[in-house]
Amino acid sequence: MRKFSTLIAVTLMVSLAACGGSSKKPATTTTPTTGGTSAKKKSLYDRLGGLDAIKQVIADFVGNVAADERINGRFANADIEHLKTMLVEQVCEATGGPCKYSGKDMVTAHTGMNLTDDEFNALVEDLVTTLDKFQVAQAEKDELLGALGGMKGDIVGK
Ligand code: HEM
């Protein structure tokens, strides 16, 4: 429950005792198909590499946010460990993983902050930096960013 007193920041993802995890790196390729017509596409969660990969991504991403002077002031009083946990749960669930997000809904979590488009975009940029660093493939990147982009209306200007 550490608090970051200086301009330490972040955003998306949690350690779920119920979800477990190994030491896999985030996936860098899309799922190969068999050439048949009945091949079922794996969940984004699986294609990203599962819970351990998501934890790595969130940790790196939060590090980027903490270093991003455009937005890190927003997190001066944040409980970063809790936030990371929430982000991991959220991304795990949103991508089809076995987790259950236990945090506040996005409107409630961001009401009173009056966040701007620029701040939202800065945060997304920080995530893209992480996804590129982990060489997450374009398809998975687009899907994840699409899922998060869909939350923008609940987060900005509240
Ligand atoms: C897709 C974009 C975003 C997602 C998915 C997201 C997600 C979350 C989540 C899951 C929480 C924790 C809720 C809880 O504790 O129950 C949270 C809190 C918070 N978010 Fe966001 N967020 C986003 C954008 C932003 C942006 C752009 C900012 C500011 C630049 C921001 C600032 C904060 C702050 C300050 C908190 C409270 C942290 C604390 O008090 O411990 N978020 N967000």
| Structural domain includes residue 24 | no
Ligand 1 close to Cβ of residue 82 (< 6 A): yes
pLDDT for residue 63 is more than 70: yes
| Structural domain includes residue 3 | no
Ligand 1 close to Cβ of residue 151 (< 6 A): yes
Question: Can you give the pLDDT at residue 30?
Answer: 54
| Structural domain includes residue 109 | yes
| Structural domain includes residue 6 | no
Question: Can you give the pLDDT at residue 5?
Answer: 35
Question: Can you give the pLDDT at residue 41?
Answer: 86
| Structural domain includes residue 93 | yes
Q: What is the pLDDT of residues 80-138, one digit of tens each?
A: 999 999 999 999 999 999 999 999 999 999 999 999 999 999 999 999 999 999 999 99
Task: Tell me which residue has tokens 């998060």.
Answer: 148
Q: Which atom of ligand 1 is nearest to the CA of 103?
A: 16
| Structural domain includes residue 35 | no
Confidence tier at 13 by pLDDT (50, 70, 90) = very low
User: Range of 105's domain?
Assistant: 44-155
Ligand 1 close to Cβ of residue 11 (< 6 A): yes
Q: What is residue 53's three-state secondary structure?
A: helix
Ligand 1 close to Cβ of residue 85 (< 6 A): no
Ligand 1 close to Cβ of residue 109 (< 6 A): yes
Which of 110, 120, 123, 130 is the pocket-test mutation for ligand 1 (most atoms within 8 Å of CB)? 110
Q: Where would I find the H helices in the chain?
A: 44-48, 50-67, 80-94, 106-110, 117-133, 138-149, 152-155
Give how far the C-alpha of residue 54 lies from the chain's centroid of Cα atoms, to the nearest Å: 7
Question: Can you give the pLDDT at residue 39?
Answer: 75
| Structural domain includes residue 143 | yes
Ligand 1 close to Cβ of residue 72 (< 6 A): no
| Structural domain includes residue 113 | yes
Q: What is the pLDDT of residues 19-56, one digit of tens each?
A: 444 455 666 655 555 555 667 889 999 999 999 999 99
Question: Can you give the pLDDT at residue 12?
Answer: 40
pLDDT for residue 18 is more than 90: no
Query: pTM for this structure?
Result: 0.84
CATH code where residue 108 lies: 1.10.490.10
How many domains is the chain built from?
Answer: 1
